[in-house]
Amino acid sequence: MVPALPRILRGLGFAGLLLAAAACRGRAQDAAADPIARLVDSLRPSVERATGLTFKRSPRFATRSRAQVRAYLVAKIAQELPPERLAAMGDAYRLLGLIPDSLDLQQLLMSLYEEQVAGFYEPDSGMLFVLAESDPNSPELRFVVAHELVHALQHQYLPLDSIMKQRWNNDRLAAAQAVLEGQATLASILMMMPGQDLLADDTTWELFREQVSAARGSMAVFARAPRIIQEGLLFPYVSGASFMRWWARAHPGESPPYGAAMPVSTEQVLHPARYAAGDVPLELPPADSGARLGESDVLGELEIRILEAELSGAEAVSTTVPIGWAGDRYRLYRSDAGPALVWRTAWDDARAAERFRTGAGARLAARSRPGYRTEVTALEVMGHPGVRVVVAPERWKGWAGLN
């Protein structure tokens, strides 16, 4: 679930490091009529150079007021996160201690999108949108439009609408999104900094990552959001851009990793060596511990890392070294006493499994939640060392069905 947000191509306003946003339908502008049209036309050749791809047809674009964008966001969130899915997402995060019980997740999503929206591309309509109130001469808007033009270009080579509507494996979806947002972010930065070789200059690249991290506090809603939301929002842009930078260096002159070449886990994005080695995660079936089944999904390495940082009180989320994750899946259950969570993880070896069980697992078991109990058990998962975490009401009937 990286993060608990609908997969709209969207943007973050980090000072001069604006990324992408969400969208709405509209009527295309006359390319000769306004400054936005001239901006789009002026950026098109640079986008093609930065990506190595050529537009098959001219990108379509339009402007929308902030009120129109807000109305679209309300409808889009309802479409991509219907009430039952949004509730399940919130339940999983709450049971793991990643968000407080009092958090209104739907309202937080709306506030985040409204704070971040600047420019946007919508796969459904194939339209690039710019806020009508935007300053066409600002460097920030230039960055946003360049980023969104990359998405428009990607859509001419990939079925973005179907890719972004995947369900039931949010970790895999986050990995695909990292390619899309990562390529757009990297290309936009290369365009805005033409005098620097960011592909070869590691120092400048790390400075970019530090600037993005430091800019978190510039957005009030984002700064107050739980860590799982913040890190999940940043991942496709920052880690995705790092992955695409690795790809450009390791595969000079080759096409982007589209289609079957896309990474299939956040582990592969965070650790390109795992991607290069073909280390793919296990496809775990969901657990079945009785009736009243709820949603099932995958956390993946990124969210496990965030969970570990949250439970240990670490200041930052460390992703430098792989943790030996081989796959996971959770299942939610409905009960009169409250939601129950059964989460199974598989690991590359016994040492990795034990490290998780005695680390994050033990901290989860030590947490107190009124009316609930947490059980952490070592077991075999699809032939791999594994750990099962159950967070459920004490009166949950499913306890008897666990094996």
pLDDT digit string (tens) for 100-110? Answer: 999 998 889 88
pLDDT value of residue 28? 41
Residue 389: band (very low, low, confident or very high) from pLDDT cuts 50, 70, 90:
very high
pLDDT value of residue 133? 84
Q: What is the dihedral of CA 158, 162, 164, 169, to 10 degrees?
A: -120
Q: Give the DSSP H or E segment for 119.
A: strand 119-122
> E-assigned strands of 20-140?
60-64, 119-122, 127-131
pLDDT value of residue 17? 32
pTM of the model: 0.89
Residue 300: band (very low, low, confident or very high) from pLDDT cuts 50, 70, 90:
very high
Residue 25: band (very low, low, confident or very high) from pLDDT cuts 50, 70, 90:
very low
pLDDT digits (tens, 9 = 90+) for 318-348: 999 999 999 999 999 999 999 999 999 999 9
Q: Give the DSSP H or E segment for 326.
A: strand 325-333
Q: Give the DSSP H or E segment for 372.
A: strand 372-381
> How confident is the model over 57-80, as a mean pLDDT?
84
pLDDT digits (tens, 9 = 90+) for 352-378: 999 999 999 999 999 999 999 999 999
> How confident is the model over 245-259, as a mean pLDDT?
94
Q: Which of 167-171, 172-176, 277-281, 364-368 has the lowest mean pLDDT?
A: 167-171
pLDDT value of residue 8? 36
10 has a pLDDT exceeding 70: no
pLDDT value of residue 276? 98
pLDDT value of residue 336? 92
239 has a pLDDT exceeding 90: yes
pLDDT value of residue 3? 36
4 vs 235: which has the higher pLDDT: 235
Residue 19: band (very low, low, confident or very high) from pLDDT cuts 50, 70, 90:
very low
H and E: helices and strands count for the chain: 15, 10
Where do we find the tokens 């360049």? Answer: 146
Residue 1: band (very low, low, confident or very high) from pLDDT cuts 50, 70, 90:
very low
Are the C-beta atoms of 114 and 131 separated by less than 8 Å? no
16 has a pLDDT exceeding 50: no
CA 300, CA 196: separation in Å to the nearest integer? 34
26 has a pLDDT exceeding 60: no
CA 200, CA 211: separation in Å to the nearest integer? 19
> How confident is the model over 132-156, as a mean pLDDT?
89
Q: Give the DSSP H or E segment for 187.
A: helix 170-192
Percent of the chain topping pLDDT 70: 89
Q: Angle, to 10 degrees, between the axis of helix 170-192 and the axis of helix 300-312?
A: 90
> How confident is the model over 171-176, as a mean pLDDT?
94
Enter the tokens of residue 101.
């019980």
Phi and psi angles of residue 161, each rounded to the nearest 5 degrees, phi first? -60, -40
Name the nearest CA neighbour of 9 among 28, 22, 26.
22
Looking at CATH, the fold of the domain delimited by 293-401 is given as: Phosphorylase Kinase; domain 1 (3.30.200)
9 has a pLDDT exceeding 80: no
CA 287, CA 377: separation in Å to the nearest integer? 14
Sheet holding 325-333, edge to edge: 293-297, 325-333, 340-347, 384-393, 372-381
Sequence spans of domains, the chain: 13-276, 293-401
Maximum Cα–Cα distance across the chain: 70
Percent of the chain topping pLDDT 90: 56
Mean pLDDT, the chain, integer: 86
pLDDT digits (tens, 9 = 90+) for 219-238: 888 889 999 999 998 999 99
Residue 289: band (very low, low, confident or very high) from pLDDT cuts 50, 70, 90:
low
pLDDT value of residue 280? 97
